Structure 1
Amino acid sequence: MSQRKKNKFILRRPFKYRYTHSTLFLIFLNFIVYGACYLFPKVYQYVHYYGAMNVVLVERERMYWQFLTYMFVHQNISHVFFNMLGLLVFGLQIERAIGSTEFKLFYFVCGILSGFFSFLLYKFTGNYRTFLLGASGAIYAVLFAYAVFFPRSIIMIWGIIPVPSPVLVFIYAIIEIVSQLMGTGGNVAHMTHLFGFLAAWLYFVIRMGIHPVKIWKKTYSR
């Protein structure tokens, strides 16, 4: 066996299936961090400075951990609530489908990649003052995964509009692109959301050997 094929085999080696409610633990941890920041303003200042991702701090101060920790820092209650709601709704299903170990690897790899891609964008556009925070990149990756594993699932928007999960991913992508181009949405990191989709797509292709578009075409061409 060639070295290239051997490395590819190792990269795609599956984990033993286990289900340990990692989604619930992640939700709990995010709320604990937010609760501590909310109750103690000095804690928030410390967590925001050292935990949220900033180009200058990563480059000059070598705070490389920010590629991970930014996912656990949220700006306000609605920010953490809706992120965790998305993780609860879609993350539980994905964790059950692929197992807790694979799910944690997927969640953190996609979250870190979303942060890294955002870092590159901020660096090359001179956006040095921005602090990236929130789990949105990883949550969008989880939504993408849900659409791949459950392509026939129907999601009710506002409880009244039925939308197939792959279509929802497409709609969100269009919204984020338009919002980024139009400069709407205030402090929302639209590109980080799109990077979450990109990171999930890369994970499926490289780690799982799954091509999402082919899955969706096959599902709806029958």
Structure 2
Amino acid sequence: MNSQSPFANIPPVVKNLLIINVLFFIGTYILGRSGINLELYLSCFYFNSPFFHPWQIVSYMFMHANIQHIFFNMFALFMFGPTIEYTLGSKRFLQYYFITGIGAVILQMIVQSAEVHAIIGTFTIPNLNFGPYVNLAGFEKLKDIYSTPILGASGAIFGVLLAFGYLFPNVEMMVLFIPMPIKAKYLIAGYIVIELIGGFGQFAGDSVAHFAHLGGALFGFIILKFWRVQRPNNFY
């Protein structure tokens, strides 16, 4: 008797997104060993950074920092993506995924712009010369904004999670280290609260782009409302 592959029922968009992300990760590792830094070209930098290129607002979604980063993003896509793709349809799901991913990086850049403006009174730095404008703390913050890339599918994944919590709010889920099932609407709301705390808290050593995650969820909510997507009444 042939056992069915766990990937057999994955719809086409989710399946191809999984494959493409893994190929990008492998390609980044292999080329990196040869001295070619794909992160510099395909991750997304602040729009005034000398490293920024327009295509990065899309390509950054396929770049990941390490094996843990891609594993958890792809695991979430594998777990929740098929349900959302079956609900929205493949074409709309693909649009939704990229809109939330682009929305994520837009919100992150808006926040970065506000931080730059708070330091120097403008959103861009003439000739990228930080020195005349700031003290040491301001210099370090500007350097971090201008040189640290945004990368990963997390923004789009938060869009997928938001869609699941919005469309199937009462589905009970088990979470590691929590000994009882939690309804999806509470779980997703909890994730959003954690991201809000992380984003506004700006804790030392925290390199996570929290506002990108929030941007994915925000744009996901907006697009579901704009499309007038109805909650299924025959699921679970």
TM category, shorter: 0.7 to 0.9
* Whole-Å separation in 2 of the counterparts to 1:78 and 1:61: 25
Corresponding letter in the other structure for 1:153: V
Which residue number in structure 2 is paired with residue 47 of structure 1? 38
Question: Which one of the candidate residues 92, 105, 113 is aligned to 2:103?
Answer: 113
The structural deviation recorded for 1:190 is 1.0
> Is residue 128 of structure 2 the alignment partner of residue 138 of structure 1?
no
Counterpart contact for 1:118–1:191, Cα < 8 Å: yes
SS at match of 1:160: strand
Which residue number in structure 2 is paired with residue 177 of structure 1? 196
* Whole-Å separation in 1 of the counterparts to 2:210 and 2:175: 20
* Whole-Å separation in 1 of the counterparts to 2:42 and 2:73: 17
Question: Which one of the candidate residues 182, 189, 207 is aligned to 1:163?
Answer: 182
Corresponding letter in the other structure for 1:144: L
Counterpart contact for 1:37–1:44, Cα < 8 Å: no
SS at match of 2:182: strand
Counterpart contact for 2:14–2:82, Cα < 8 Å: yes
* Whole-Å separation in 1 of the counterparts to 2:212 and 2:52: 21
RMSD, matched Cα: 2.2
Q: Percent identity between the aligned chains?
A: 30
Evaluate the alpha carbon distance shift between residue 145 and residue 48 of structure 1 in structure 2; reply closer, same or farther with a 3 A threshold: same
Gaps of 5+ in 1: 1-18, 216-222
Question: Which one of the candidate residues 220, 223, 236 is aligned to 1:203?
Answer: 223
User: Max radius of gyration: which structure?
Assistant: 2
Corresponding letter in the other structure for 1:188: V
* Whole-Å separation in 1 of the counterparts to 2:218 and 2:180: 26
* Whole-Å separation in 1 of the counterparts to 2:229 and 2:93: 15
Counterpart contact for 2:24–2:62, Cα < 8 Å: yes
Corresponding letter in the other structure for 2:39: H
Tell me the number of residue pairs that the alignment of Structure 1 and Structure 2 aligns.
192
* Whole-Å separation in 1 of the counterparts to 2:154 and 2:34: 22
Gaps of 5+ in 2: 1-9, 117-144, 232-236
CA deviation vs aligned residue, 1:130-173 (integer Å, no higher than 9, x gap): 21000000000000001122122111111733111111111011
Counterpart contact for 2:168–2:184, Cα < 8 Å: yes
SS at match of 1:40: helix
Counterpart contact for 1:114–1:192, Cα < 8 Å: yes
Counterpart contact for 1:36–1:44, Cα < 8 Å: no
Which residue number in structure 1 is paired with residue 210 of structure 2? 190
Instruction: Give the 4+ runs in structure 1 shifted more than 4 A.
Output: 42-45, 58-62
* Whole-Å separation in 1 of the counterparts to 2:219 and 2:188: 14
Evaluate the alpha carbon distance shift between residue 61 and residue 189 of structure 1 in structure 2; reply closer, same or farther with a 3 A threshold: closer
SS at match of 1:128: helix
Say which structure is richer in helix. Answer: 1
